[in-house]
Amino acid sequence: MASRNPLQPLLNQIPKPLRNKYFIVLAVFFFWMIFIDKHDFLTQWRLQRAVDQMREEKELYIEKIDQAKQDRLDLEANKEKFAREQYFMKKRDEEVFIIEDEE
């Protein structure tokens, strides 16, 4: 009895190892895991980039916190100097000249 499947000539052109049901299942499984799954490769790559960016931001914020702590210590040590330098405050009977270095 001849096969009445119209796709049989096309199927015969595919190499036998590729027609193996185990190979097909593995191929579908890997395709699913790489492109479709909730934890696919692209999502993991994007998440890793986000984690790297957050680590860089963490270092930046730690530096800013250290600078703020140093500013607080300076303020506690000499309030008048801090007010004059940061907010350009002055006493009533004095004039303030701001001299900036050109670099």
Query: pLDDT digits over 19-29, tens only?
Result: 888 988 999 99
pTM: 0.52
List the domain boundaries for the chain: 11-87
- Which two structure tokens, joined as six digits, stand for 18? 């590729």
- Judge contact between 73 and 66, C-beta under 8 A: no
What does each of the 103 residues of the chain score in pLDDT, given as a tens digit? Answer: 556 888 888 888 888 888 888 988 999 999 988 888 888 888 999 999 999 999 999 999 999 999 999 988 988 888 888 777 778 788 888 887 778 888 7
**17 CB-near residues (< 8 Å, 6+ apart):** 23
Backbone phi and psi for residue 78, each to the nearest 5 degrees, phi listed first: -145, 90
DSSP 14: S
- Judge contact between 75 and 82, C-beta under 8 A: yes
Give CA–CA dist 53/31, Å, rounded: 29
Query: pLDDT digits over 46-58, tens only?
Result: 999 999 999 999 9
